[in-house]
Amino acid sequence: MKAISIALKDLQVLIKDRGMLFQLFILPLVFIFVVSGALGGIGASEEVKLPQLAVVDLDAGEHGKTLVDKLSADGSLEVVLTSSAEADSLVSQNKLVGSLTIPAAFTEGVESSQAVTLVLATAPKANPQAVSAIRMVIESIAADLSLEGQIIASLKQLGEMRGSLPDESEVFATEHVLAKARQQFVDAEARPLIQVVQSVPQQDQDQETTINYGQSAVPGFTVLFVFLAAQTTAKSIYEEKKIGSFRRLVAAPLSKAELLAGKLIPNFITNLAQIAVIFILGSLGMSLLGMAALPFAEVPVGTILVAIVLALCSSAFGIAIAGLARTDNQISGVSTILLWGMGLVGGSLVPIFLLERFLGKIPMVVPHYWANRAFDDLLVRRLGMAQVGLDLLVLFGFCLLFFAIGLWRFDYER
When divided into structural domains, the chain yields a total of 2
Mark whether 272 and 401 lie in a shared domain: yes
- Sign, CA torsion 147/153/159/165: negative
Domain around 312: 2-42+211-409
Q: Is residue 352 in some structural domain?
A: yes
Q: Are residues 359 and 217 in the same domain?
A: yes
CA dihedral over 292, 293, 294, 300, signed as positive or negative: negative
Q: Please check whether residues 178 and 319 belong to one and the same domain.
A: no
CATH number at residue 122: 3.40.1710
My answer on whether 393 and 341 are in the same domain is yes
Strand partners, 122: 98
Instruction: For residue 256, tell me if it sits in a domain.
Output: yes
**Would you call 253 exposed, middle or buried from its count of C-beta atoms within 10 A (0-12, 13-18, 19+)?**
exposed
Mean pLDDT over 197-224 rounds to 61
Residues 13 and 155 in one domain: no
Do 158 and 271 belong together in one domain? no
Which of the pair, 215 or 125, is modelled with greater confidence? 125
Rounded to the nearest 10°, the torsion over CA 259, 265, 266, 270 is 160
- Give me the percent of the chain exceeding a pLDDT of 90: 13
Last residue of a domain, one of 199, 229, 254: 199
User: Is residue 172 domain-resident?
Assistant: yes
Q: Do 293 and 368 have their domain in common? A: yes
What pLDDT shows up at residue 394?
95
Q: Are residues 291 and 379 in the same domain?
A: yes
Phi-psi region of 113 (alpha: psi -120 to 50; beta: other; left: phi over 0): left
How many angstroms separate the Cα of 400 from the Cα of each of 134, 228, 255, 365?
50, 19, 17, 15
Comparing 76 with 135, the larger pLDDT belongs to 135
In a domain, 269, yes or no: yes
Which residue did the predictor score with more confidence, 407 or 9?
A: 407
**pLDDT at residue 208, as a whole number:** 40
Give the domain-ending residue among 199, 228, 254.
199
Q: Which of 199, 227, 256 is the last residue of a domain?
A: 199
The more confidently predicted of residues 174 and 24 is 24
At residue 169, does pLDDT exceed 60? no
107 and 192 fall within a common domain: yes
Provide the pLDDT confidence category of residue 203 given band limits of 50, 70 and 90: very low
Q: Is residue 378 located within the same domain as residue 359?
A: yes
The amino acid that residue 151 corresponds to is I
Q: Is 84 within a domain?
A: yes
Does residue 307 register a pLDDT over 90? yes
Share of the chain above pLDDT 70, in %: 67
Same domain, 277 and 339: yes
CA nearest to 24, candidates 266, 383, 344, 301: 266
Task: Judge if 236 and 167 occupy the same domain.
Answer: no
Res 205: pLDDT: 40
The strands making up 194-199's β-sheet, listed across from edge to edge, are 78-81, 52-57, 98-102, 116-122, 194-199
Is the pTM higher than 0.75? The answer reads no
Question: Is 414 part of a structural domain of the chain?
Answer: no
CA distance 223 to 214: 15
